Amino acid sequence: MSERISEEFLQKFIGLPVPPIKMQVRGKTLVEYAKAIGSTNPKYIGDDPIAHPSYVGTSAVLALINSADVTAEDDEGVQVKLIKNPLKVVHGGQNYKFTDVPVKDGDLITTEGVISNVVIKGDNLFLYADVTSKNQNGEVVLDTTIYGICTKGGW
């Protein structure tokens, strides 16, 4: 296979699952996060805090990083990695669909998804993933479309 993956071969990655992320929620971490983003709302920094809505989005970023492990099979039966160098990937953006389900201390959040699109623009690869984060009860706490940009030499 050539150094750069062809646009045609890239289509094989669309629909492939992104390795799941599991995140154990700790109240102390919720408070630290809320303070770090400048929140002074007592429901995020009080004694029994719930997560600021953007907190769960951090697991979507980890899911994007995990997309570096996604492979597709070429014509010779060889597994080809989508991302060859994860250090060349930067976070490009995120669209959130929040729910009313609170995230709190002790929750286990699992984030799973699929690669939804890959686009070549110049020497860059734009990688999109649709991911859903659920708590231990199977309740959706966040749906996200996230994308990263992999620069030249990384794909």
Q: What is the pLDDT of residues 76-91, one digit of tens each?
A: 999 999 999 989 999 9
pLDDT in the model for residue 97: 94
Domain 7-150: CATH class, spelled out: alpha beta
**Do 129 and 64 meet the contact criterion of CB atoms below 8 Å apart?**
yes
pLDDT in the model for residue 22: 95
State the pLDDT confidence band at 63, using cuts at 50, 70 and 90: confident
**Do 37 and 54 meet the contact criterion of CB atoms below 8 Å apart?**
yes
pLDDT in the model for residue 105: 96
Provide, for the chain, the percentages of residues in helix, strand and coil under a 3-state DSSP scheme, each rounded to the nearest 5.
Answer: 25, 40, 35
- Residue boundaries of the structural domains of the chain: 7-150
Extended beta strands in the chain, E state: 17-24, 71-73, 79-81, 89-98, 108-121, 124-134, 140-150
Q: Residue 121 corresponds to which tokens in the numbers above?
A: 């623009």
Label the pairing between strands 124-134 and 140-150: antiparallel
Q: What is the pLDDT of residues 103-130, one digit of tens each?
A: 999 999 999 999 999 999 999 999 999 9
pLDDT in the model for residue 3: 64
**Do 129 and 63 meet the contact criterion of CB atoms below 8 Å apart?**
yes
State the pLDDT confidence band at 2, using cuts at 50, 70 and 90: very low
Q: Residue 15 corresponds to which tokens in the numbers above?
A: 């629909």
